[in-house]
Each structure stands twice: as C-alpha cells, then as structure tokens.
Structure 1
Amino acid sequence: MKKLLLGLLFFVAIATQAQTYTIANTLKLGTVNQGTAHDSVLVRGVDKIVKFVPRSEFGGGGGSQDLQSVLDNGDVASGTISLLQGGSGSRADLYGHGLYFNNGYIDQNFSIQSDGIRGYNDAENRINKLLFSKITDGFANFYFPDKPSGTYTLATTDDIPTASVSFQAAYNGGRNFSGSNRINYTGTGALDRYLSSWSPDTFKAQDVLFNQSVGLDPTGLSYLDTNIGGGNAIDFRKTSGGYNSYKFPEKTEGTYILATLDDIKIGTTAPASSTATGVTGEIRVVSGYIYWCIATNTWIRASGTTF
C-alpha cells in the first residue's frame, strides 16, 4: 500500500510539471532579488505563454549599448531621428531629405537639405536659401574672401552696377593702383594694331603689328623695335643742380636730323696748308683765324676782327 501511494504522488508531480497555468489577475511579486547582467529575462510570447530568454540574445554582451554597437547591428531606420541637448531645448532632427536644427526657439530653424542650406524664422515668415544645384556639367569651387575678423555682407550680381563707369568716377573712387600693365587700351577697327598700357613706372604705346613701341619712364623717353633688337633713348637725368631748357631749332617744314657733339667738328689746330687732310664741314678756330673745310682736303680761312 505504501508503494502504491508513492507511485501515485510521483505521477501527480510529473503531470503537474507538464501543465500550463493561466493567470487572469494582475501578477504582483512582493520580493524580487537583484540579478546580474547575464541572467535570463522573462518575456511574454505571441502565444501568451511566459518564457525565459537569455540576456545575450538582446545583443551588446548583456551590458549597456553604445551608438557604434547599434549601428553595427544596422544603420538603416525609417521615421525621424532626433538628438536633444540637455535642458537647453536645442535639437537636431534627421528625416526626409534633410537635417534640421532648432536652437530652442520654435520660430528659428536651420536646415541642410539635398539642394542646399536654409535658414528659417517662422514667426516672421522669413526664409533665406543658399542653393547648390548646378545645371551644367563639371565641378565648381567657390571661396569666401579672406578678410580680417569682422562682420561682412555678401554682394549679389544685381549689386554690381551694369552701366559703364567713367574714368572720372573710377578716379574719384580711388586713384591709386599697383602692379604692372594694369590699365590697357586696345584700338578697334583700323587702330586695332595699337595697344597702350600704363604701369606705375612706364607708359607704353605699342604697334603690335610691326613690333615697335615707345615708352616713357622716370629716366626719359625710349623707342624699341624688336624686329631688329634695338632702339633709341633720350635720357633726361641730370647730375648737377639747376634747371635747363632745350629747344628745337626753328625750321621750315621738312625732315631734319639732330646732331651730336661728335658731329660738330671744331678743332684748335690750324691745317698745315689749304690741301691738308680734312672732312667737309670741319671747322677749326686758331689764333684769330677760322679755318673751314669746304671739300675733302680743301681749306679756306678768314681772319677775325672786332666790330
């Protein structure tokens, strides 16, 4: 009889382990012991049966997860992603085709979208856009001007005057400039062969067809012919004090050649005879006489007297 009772209890115990109990009321636990990061977790399955799942199945090694771990498990999500900062109210929202920033005031926003950048002031219905869309091929780079510290206002193409600016207006705006060949003039029509340029140290007028030019600089006036690799120059520099004026001879209309010192043949030695060696035009002044070579190796003389 004793053996029969023990067998019956064993059968009841086995049957009890295989049964499922339904709890219709709210389940309350008065005392729950603290577990570890590696304990299993009770979950309610889709079949409404409470089961346990190892903590390791939730990822992150059983501890708190960082952003890198989450992204490693999957970096694609639908909906809005929001980043909030402390108690300042500032936030960044990523959704749609842009990243939106709010500084804590609902009427001021800033966004980066697929076609550019936008700034909003919703309270006053004001929006500024900086659009980067491009309709032609190729890549273009734009740089902000390199300025000292300060606040500057950018200009747009309609701020640039389209009307022609006179030279007087440019002069009044500022008459100083630097660099070489900063003011150039190219002729048109029959004068398209001529080019004038003005640098701080030289003014040049050039015939680009014949490669000839005349330049004026602080030392004087110069002429250059690059066809022959040569030219002429008049040097106005002076090594002593005082001011000199030079005048061209008064001549009738015609073409004349200026003379130099070596062209003026005035000697101080009398010819030995009227047939002494001499060059036409040569003059010698000696002891009251003026000797003049009127032809090659032919001399005449005249005495000088007071009057």
Structure 2
Amino acid sequence: MKKIILLLALSVTLFSTAQSTYLIQKPLRLETVNGGTKFDSVLVRGADKIVKFVPRSEFVGSSGLKTVNGISLLGSGDVPFTPVSDTVSGIVNNTALQELGGVDKTINGLRIGRGNSTGIDNVVFGINSQNSATTAVENHSFGFEALRDVTTGNYNTAMGWGALQMNTTGNQNSAFGDAASMANTTGSYNVAMGINTLKANQYGSQNVAIGAGALAKNIGTAGSNIFGHRSVAIGASAMFNNTTGHGIGIGNFALNNNTTGAHNIAIGFQSGSGITTGSNNTIIAGTGFIQFGGGITTGANNLIIAQNNGNTTGITTGSGNTIVGKVSGLAAALENNVIVSDGVGTQRLISNSTNLTTLPVQTTALITGDTTGKAVLTKEYLNSFIGTVAPASATASGKVGEIRIVAGYIYWCTAPNTWIRASGTTF
C-alpha cells in the first residue's frame, strides 16, 4: 500500500510540472487552512468547472460588485443594487436617530425643516428662523432669523438676514434682502425687494418697495387703512423717510424726504426729493443732478412736468400750480399759476391766479408777419393799431388798418399816408 501511495505522489509531481488538469470527483475537504489577508487572491470555480484564482483587484474599483463599508447590498447581474432599509432586512432602522427623517434638522446651528408651527407647508432654512410659529401655515423663510417671530401669520416669504424678522400676524408679505421688512408686525400684502427696504414698517400694508432703502422708514398707523399704506417706491432710497404718508416714487431718491405727505407722485432721479409734508403733488422730472432736496417742500396740488429741473422751479410752499417745461426763478409761494415753457427756459404762456393770460414772446412784429391768419392778438398789438391821438392831417403817416379814436371823431388809415374820418354822433 505504501508503495502505491508513493507512486501516486510521484505521478502527481511529474504531471504537475507539465500543467496537467486533474478531475476531483469527490467532495474536496481541507482540514487546516491558514488565514489570509485582504490583499490575497481568491480561488473560484469557473464556468468551465476549473478551479482558478481571481486577483483581488477584480472585486473593487470598477468591478460589478458593489460594496459599502458596514452595509449589505442586494442585487445581482443587471438588476440595480438597492441598500437595505427598515423594510428590507439587513440593517438597523435609524429613523429614531433622526438622520434622514422626523423633526427639523440642525446642522452647526442652521435649522432646516418646517419650523415650530403645527400648521402645514412651512419651509425653514436658517438659524432662529420661524422659532415662534404656532399655527402659521405656508410660510417660507431662508436666512438668519428670517420670520423669527411669526406666530399665526400665513403665506409669507422671507429671504435674507432678518427679513420679516419681527412679523407676528402679518399675512402674504414677500421680503427679499437683508433686513427687508425687518420690523413688520401686523402689516400685510407688502412686497420688499432690496436691503433695508420697508425696514421699519410695522403696520403699513399693500406697499411695494424695490431698491436698497426704499420706504426704509415707513411705519404705518395701527388700525388705519390709509396712513403708511399703498405706497410704491422703486429705486434706491425712494421714499426713504416716509413714515405715515403714502404715494408713488419711481427713481433713485424720488420723494426721499417725504414723511407724512400723501398722494404724491414723483417720477425721475431725485424727483420730488424736497417734499416733506406736502400732498397731492405730481412731479415728472429729475433734478438734472443740480440740487438734491430742492423744490416743493410743503406745497400741495402742484403739477410739474419738466426736463431735468423738476426741483428747481423756485416753488417751495406754493400750491395749485401747473408747470410744463423748463422753468426756474419762480416765487417760492407762487399760487395757482399755469406756466408753459420750452426746453431751454423760455416761458411761452402764463396764466396767473387772477386768470390773466399772457404770451410773453408774442410780439407785434410776429403777429403782423403771420401768414396763417391764426396768430393770437395781444394788447400790445391792439394798442399799436388803435390810438387816441388824431393824425396831423389826411396825409399823415400811418399803417393800413390803423384806427384813432378821439373826442367827436374816428380816424381810419385806408392806405399809406391816407386817412379818412367820421364824426361821432349819438343815436
């Protein structure tokens, strides 16, 4: 028997050097196996039923085997691999740890979630954002302390540092920019876009502020639906100092100094920037970079449409004026005048508070030279044709059509140097 075993061993040695293949028909059992390392190759049975080793590199990198440290994966072939979960055995359910679900998540002080409210559809992204919410619904806040104090206010959107920070019960406000609508408490339906827009507003509603500092000091009056409400300010610092007034200011610094003035409309750079308490003024013009804060201050019911000098007409406290065109040098307290000027400052028509209408540039020569027959006659022109001194003789010099009226006679120039007269009689 020993000889047979030795012969078999010798045969295996001889044939092994020739890379022969041996068929093992019975189960192969290894009594003792030394431990390997993670760098060793692996023996596998191939599709050809031959035992071979596969390098470790085939099981990592871009190979078909999906591995995640400490987590089992399911799937094979072309079927996608799926991580096990609380509904698929093989991993501990981590819902209780609030890693992926449950209440709001705080990361390095930044809160992400739905806020403290029991209401629905709220979104919170920011430190101390929506901290006081109770039953508020559909509020969206992004930024440090955005909508911090909201309790029951609904449908608000705040984006920026401190945006709508003090809003408690105000509804349907939109604030975009650092400190936008920061002090708002009960004001509703406001739109603030830009840093410090509507910053001090507390009670004002239905305001639109677009541009850094627009309506920054607007406060509004509690319980009122007029004061501090329904203003539109578009432009940097437009209506900046407005507190309880309201109006429309479009343009950088438009209506900048208005505080309590109401129903003012100013369109243009620095337009109406001098108005403080004046009301019902409409100014369409810029200052032409000449004078900030000039023009009407407390005057009311003025309409000014001018090129680049809306604040430099000279009117400050005057009221009831209509100015069209480039006009300057008017009295500060001018009242109830209508002035039409051209673009270079020449006044063409003036109608004053006594209803006297004058045409400052309408001369006799212009009227005489008119070929359309449409010229407006002036007193100056009529005085040149209707005199009160009799001609010296029937051949005295005169203009055709000229009339002289004296006691007892009417003289009429019918041709150059030709006069006729008629005696005046009673009837």
TM-score bucket (shorter structure):
0.3 to 0.5
Q: Which has the higher helix share?
A: 1
What TM-score does the superposition give when structure 2 sets the normalisation length? 0.29
Name the structure where strand makes up a greater proportion of residues.
Answer: 1
Q: TM-score, normalised by structure 1?
A: 0.36
- Larger C-alpha radius of gyration, 1 or 2? 1
